[in-house]
Structures are given as structure tokens and as C-alpha cells.
Amino acid sequence: MSLAAQVQSGDRRALSRAITCVENGDPEARGLLEELYPRVGKARRIGFTGPPGVGKSTLVSELARHWRAAGKTVGIVAVDPSSPFTGGALLGDRIRMNAIGTDPGVFIRSMATRGALGGLARATYDVCDVLDAAGKDVVLVETVGVGQSEIEIVRVADTTVVILSPESGDGVQAMKSGLMEIADVIVINKADRPGADALETQIRSSFELSTSRRPPELVQTAAATGKGIAEAASAIEAHTEKLEKDGALRDHRAARLRFRIGRLVEEALSRRLSHDAAAAAWLDERVDRVLAGRMTPGDAAEEMLDRLTAGPGRGTAPRPARLAR
Amino acid sequence: MSLAAQVQSGDRRALSRAITCVENGDPEARGLLEELYPRVGKARRIGFTGPPGVGKSTLVSELARHWRAAGKTVGIVAVDPSSPFTGGALLGDRIRMNAIGTDPGVFIRSMATRGALGGLARATYDVCDVLDAAGKDVVLVETVGVGQSEIEIVRVADTTVVILSPESGDGVQAMKSGLMEIADVIVINKADRPGADALETQIRSSFELSTSRRPPELVQTAAATGKGIAEAASAIEAHTEKLEKDGALRDHRAARLRFRIGRLVEEALSRRLSHDAAAAAWLDERVDRVLAGRMTPGDAAEEMLDRLTAGPGRGTAPRPARLAR
């Protein structure tokens, strides 16, 4: 039985191996994804983001437990910014594992972002596809820490949940960072601490002042005690169901896919370039010219695109730069 | 006299017009940059990033004042995440303008990131080039708020300064977010508040635990009172001078430039695609296939690259998908 077939049969160890395979970009990954792809697209993908310390892991675990109780299977992808300093996040994972990790209907995977410079791990998309093909009804993607991943979560999720807490000025921070604009649902977690209502009022009034979009649903939770979890789950489900009813879910997924294909083209391009000594030398020469002020980066890019679209073998000889002097 | 010549002659209004031109991507921007480019490369570019509320604007203003006193001209680019909620940042700008905005040797420009999804404004690179060509000795780039821009600053700067404050758990947050890995110099601002020494100890010990890199210089400042500004300026200058002595500055700039050209190729590519109805239809068809589970995104990307490199006019007819069924 192929690895893909084992994954589809519900074999947890095979699922774990398949995720490692796509995460590492192993040579078998392409064939594996091709075999799995006909089963991809059924899972609801929900992204969770927010500043550190708001209780993301606890909330995600409680939501997983809620959906498990409703008979759904759950995959969790925790994206870790892979700093050498992130002992804390890994510890959090271990604590969570104790709470829901023994449930055979839950599969949890932590991913490091590696060299992605703060971005969402390159393979996050593929890992979600694998969990989807493995038959998980819900895939929860959680970003850990601050950075680009917070915003990029919209590239992976059907529904994006922004989590805040009444503590440490999260509200102001989130408004400044563009987080509010990507929220389909806002959860104020740790709502049993002082300031939750004030934060809710603050958020609601900023949306009233802004004419740019309809305000997202806003729910207060205290995940550590289970308060508000059912309401948060309902708000998330309502968003995805509305998307589906409108036909917007397909449009949303198509837009994401266009972006994803674009990124993959880019990756494939740089992979090809790194194996093409003539192209690398060609680029080095352009870089030298730009550093010497004899050419702009924009002109180098245009020439490079001309060279690429001129087809293999052609255009290898340096063309005269527009700015040659 | 051309706009480029006016910029080089030190005309402030021309400089302002030139920046607007490249920021908007006006049709004249390409020619303008070509004319300016021979003068680009002399300015030291210093990036400033850190969580909101640490006093970035004040520190940058005080450093600008310090370098002005040393006889250098200064350009400041403040990148604003252009949220509809960012009244605060603009107010901060106005306050800063009062402090150093009247000095003819300082030129300040705020830029919105617009649709860049939390990223550094697309045009930031070009705006720095314009300020460089205008003869500014130092160009200070400051990111406002949280998000991708914090990390992307390394794509623009010769030296990256990460600013923290003893307040609100910035240390932990920065360690989790990958900010520490990009820091060439760490400034603990608001060091007159409690906790500055504890934060310094915490940061130093995390670097001791991590073997991945040499710890950056660490300076304590209280920008609002001017304390530590000279030390921060020295630490920054020392980093750039060391880079230059090692020959690493050129390598660093070449690496940045490769990345930048890559981005520009991508932009040019999507611009060409958006003007090519056949290509757009071709992509739509692939998106449909992927959504139907009949093709993986990776295979769509590979086909697209084949199509691109097959040259114009060729490859327009849909090629059989590897996964056709």
C-alpha cells in the first residue's frame, strides 16, 4: 500500500511520515501530493493569530475539544517562528498534547518556519492539504509569535480568527498592525480579567469609525475555564457557512490558490536558477552593474524576465543594458 | 533641468515630487531612477524596528539630531502599515516634525504600506535610492507597528537596529518573533524605567544559550531625555564600519539586491500576466483543476514556468496536465 493510501486509511504513523515528507520537500513529496490531491478540499481551514501571550494554544485546544465532542476530526498545525529562543512555545505544545493529544481523532503537528524570515512556513499549505486528504473535518492553523506569519495566515485559512486579550495593550497593537483587517472573527480571550468590555468597546468603535469593511463577529472567551468556547465555535462556523452559501468560499480559495501558485512559480524559478550556472553568472553581472550605479534594479528585473521568456538556451549572452555607459 | 537633476541639486520640493513619483510607480519613475542611479550607493542605510510603543520615533529623531550635529545630512523614511486605525502613528509624525522637521538638512517622508499585507511598502527600496541619490549621508528607515515589515527591514538596511523597552514583555515577544535574529544593534529604550537591566540580562543570557550567532551590540537609551544617544550612534556606526572594512557591506548589499531583483521580476511577471488575457485564462483553468482535486498547486506552478520559459506565443495551448483524469 502506498504512503498516500495509508494516509487515507487513517494510519497515524503514515500521516506523520507524509507530513515530514512534504515539510522537508523530499523528492517523493510531489508524487505523494498528486496521489492525495483528489481527496483535498473537504476540510474547513481555520487560522488563528494574535499577539503572544493571549492564550492562543489554550483556545485552539478548547475549540478542538469542542469540535471533537460534536463528532468532528481535527488536525492542528502550530507554526513556530523557529527562533533559537522559542523554548516557551515548545513547552506550551507539550502541555497541550497532554490535554487533547491522546485523542485519536486529533492530530497535532508543530512546524518551524525555518529560513522564511518571519513568514509562514513554506510547507504550511502542503501540510494542511495532507491533513485535509487524511480526512480531518477541521484543520486549525495556529501561528506562534509575532511577524509576517500573523498576516499571512489569510493565505491558508477559510476563516481567520484574531485572538486578543485585555492585557498589555493588545487592542492598540492589533489595530496598528493590520491584524484587524484580516479578522473574520475576533476573540477576546482571558475575558475574566479586567478590561475585556473596555477592549470590546474600543474595537467596536474603531470599526464604526472605519468605513472600509463590515465589522467581524466579536466573542469573549476565557479558554482556561471553557467560558465562551461554544459561542466562539458558533461564530467561526457561521462565518464559513456564510462563505459557502454565498459561493464566496470557492472564490476565496481560488484567490488563495492563485497566490500560492505564484509563490511556487517563484520557488521553482529560483531552484532552476540555482542549478543554472550561466543564469547565475548572468545575474551576478547585473548585480555588479547595479551596485556600480550603471543600471537600476528595475531594469535588471526587466532584462531577466526577457531572458526567461526568451526560452532555454536563448538569451544567455548578455544583452546590452538600457543604461550601458 | 530634469527632475533628477533638480533632486541632485538639493531642491527639497523636487525631492518630494521624485519620491511621490517612485512611490506611485508613475510612468516617469523608471527614467527618473535610471538618471539618479549613478549617484546611488553612498548613503548608509539604517533600519529601525521593534514593537509598538517602545519610542522608535523619538529615538530615530534623536539619532537624526545627533548625526546632524556631526555635520551629516539625514533622510528619514517612516513606513506606516496604513491601517485605517493608525491615527496614532501620524500624530507621532507630526510631533516629530516639530522637533527636527524645520532643519533643512533633514528630509522626512512617511509611507503607507498600502495593499502589501503587512509588508514593507513595495516602494521603500526606491524611496531610499532617491534619498541616497539626493545626497543624504544617512537614510533612517523606521517601521511602524507590528508585522512583516519588522522582519523585512533587513532587506533594506545596511545595519538593523531592534528597539525594545522594559515595558510590556517586549523582550519575550521579540525573542519569540525572530526579531533578535535580525538585530545588528539592540537598543533598550526607556531605560530610565524599571526593568531595563533585567531585560538586558535576559537578552544577554539568551544569546549565551544560543550558539547560532555572535550577540549584537546592546545599548541602553532614554531617548526622551537624550541619555545614551551618542552611545547608540557609536554602536550603529561601528557596525557599518566593520561591515565596510570586512568587505561584507558589498556582499550584504549584493544579497539584498538579488532578493530585490527577484521581487521585481515577480511584479513584472504578474503585471505582464494581468495584461495577457490568454495567460489569465490559462491560469484560471489550472486553478479550477486544482480546486477540483485534479492537479496539485505544485504541478500547476511547474506548468506555468514551462509555459513562461517556452517564450511568447508558444505554450499558449493548454498542455496535458500531469494528473489529467
Is A284 a member of any domain? Answer: no
Instruction: Give the position of cell 548578455.
Output: A318
Distance from CA of A310 to the nearest CA of B (A): 5
Identity of the residue in B41, B117, B287 whose CB atom sits nearest the CB atom of A291: B41
Count, in order, helices (H) and strands (E) of chain A: 14, 7
Same domain? For A34 and A44 the reply is no
My answer on whether B85 and B181 are in the same domain is yes
Residue A70 has what pLDDT?
96
ipTM of this predicted structure: 0.78
In a mutational test of the B interface, the residue from A8, A40, A148 whose CB has the highest number of chain B CBs within 10 Å is A148
Co-location of B20 and B54 in the same domain: no
A311–B175 C-beta distance less than 8 A: no
Q: Which residue of A has its CA nearest to B303?
A: A265
A24 and A97: one domain? no
CB contact under 8 A, B287 and A89: no
Last residue of a domain, one of B218, B245, B272: B245
Which residues form the domain of A52?
A: 40-245
Is residue B135 located within the same domain as residue B15? no
> Residue B59 falls within a domain, yes or no?
yes
Note the pLDDT of residue B149: 55
Shared domain for B61 and B190, answered yes or no, is yes
Strands A74-80 and A159-164: unpaired
What is the least distance, in Å, from the CA of B5 to any CA of chain A?
16
> How close, in Å, is residue B274 to chain A by CA atoms?
12
* Locus of grid cell 515539510: A23
Task: State the average pLDDT over residues A195-207.
Answer: 88
Decide if B1 is inside a domain: yes
Q: Tell me if B118 and A295 make a contact (CB, 8 A cut-off).
A: no
Residue B289 inside a domain? The answer is no
Q: Minimal CA–CA distance to A57: which of A79, A86, A85?
A: A79
Which residue among A196, A226, A245 closes a domain?
A: A245
pLDDT tens column, A114-158: 544 445 667 888 999 999 999 999 999 998 655 555 667 888 999
Mean local confidence (pLDDT), A10-32: 92
B293–A38 CB contact, under 8 Å:
yes
pLDDT value, residue A174: 63
pLDDT in the model for residue A83: 44
Test B297 with A261 for CB contact under 8 angstroms: yes
Domain presence at residue A54 = yes
Q: What is the mean pLDDT of residues A16-35?
A: 92
Per residue, the 3-state secondary structure of A159-177, as one string, reads: EEEEEECCCCCHHHHHHHH
Grid look-up 542605510 returns: B45
Among the partner residues B152, B257, B314, nearest to A291 by beta-carbon distance: B257
User: What band does A313 get if pLDDT is binned at 50, 70 and 90?
Assistant: very low
Q: Alpha helices of A118-275 — where are they, by DSSP H?
A: 124-133, 148-152, 170-177, 179-182, 196-209, 229-246, 248-274
**At A179, is the secondary structure helix, strand, or coil?**
helix
Q: Are A295 and A323 in contact (CB under 8 A)?
A: yes
Determine, yes or no, domain membership for B324.
Answer: no
Q: Which residues from chain B sit within 8 angstroms of residue A34, using beta carbons?
A: 296, 299, 322-323
Q: Which long-range contacts (CB under 8 A, 24 or more apart) does B196-204 make?
A: B196/B166, B196/B220, B198/B166, B199/B164, B199/B166, B199/B170, B199/B171, B202/B171, B203/B164, B203/B171, B203/B175
Among all residues of chain B, which has the CA nearest to that of A310? B311
pLDDT tens by residue, A44-103: 999 998 877 788 888 999 999 999 999 999 999 988 655 444 434 444 454 555 567 778
The larger pLDDT score, comparing residue B192 to residue A175, is at: B192
- Residue ranges of chain B whose pLDDT lies below 70: 80-99, 113-121, 144-151, 168-178, 210-213, 309-325
Contacts of B286 (CB under 8 A, 6+ apart): A261, B295, B300, B303, B304, B321
Residue A325 lies in a domain: no
Residue A317: count of CB within 10 angstroms of its CB:
8
Query: What pLDDT shows up at residue A118?
Result: 41
List the beta bridge partners of residue A79: A111, A143
Q: Does residue B124 sit within a domain?
A: yes
For chain A, give the mean pLDDT: 82
Q: B146 and B17, same structural domain?
A: no
Same structural domain, B8 and B118: no
Q: Compute the nearest-CA separation of B213 from chain A (Å).
A: 10
Q: How many domains does chain A have?
A: 2
Per the listing, cell 516629530 goes with B96
Select the residue of B37, B260, B311 nearest A323 (Cβ to Cβ): B37
* CATH number for position B196: 3.40.50.300
Lowest model confidence (mean pLDDT) among A188-192, A276-280, A316-320, B124-128: A316-320
**Whether residue B57 is found in the same domain as residue B170:** yes
Q: Report the pLDDT value the prediction gives residue A34, as an integer from 0 to 100.
A: 94
Chain B partners within 8 Å of A88 (Cβ): 172, 176
A36, A54, A83, A207: best to mutate for the B interface, most B CBs within 10 A? A83
Same domain for A9 and A129, yes or no, is no
* Cell numbers describing residue B154: 533587513
Please identify, among A224, A245, A266, the residue that sits at the C-terminal boundary of a domain.
A245
Per the structure block, which three cell numbers stand in for B191? 531605560
Task: Output the pLDDT for position A47.
Answer: 95
Closest Cα in chain A, distance from residue B254 (Å): 6
What are the C-alpha distances in Å from A8 to residues A42, A94, A254?
13, 27, 25
Same domain, B69 and B137: yes
Which of B21, B82, B83, B276 to probe by mutation at the A interface, max A CB count within 10 Å?
B83
Q: Provide the pLDDT for residue A43.
A: 96
Extract the C-alpha cell encoding A34.
498528486
Closest residue in B to A90 (Cα) is B176
Q: Inter-chain contact B266–A262, Cβ cutoff 8 Å?
A: yes
Q: Give yes or no for a contact between B39 and B133, defined as CB atoms under 8 angstroms apart.
A: yes
pTM metric for this prediction? 0.70
pLDDT confidence of residue A116: 46
**Same-domain pairing of A15 and A112:** no
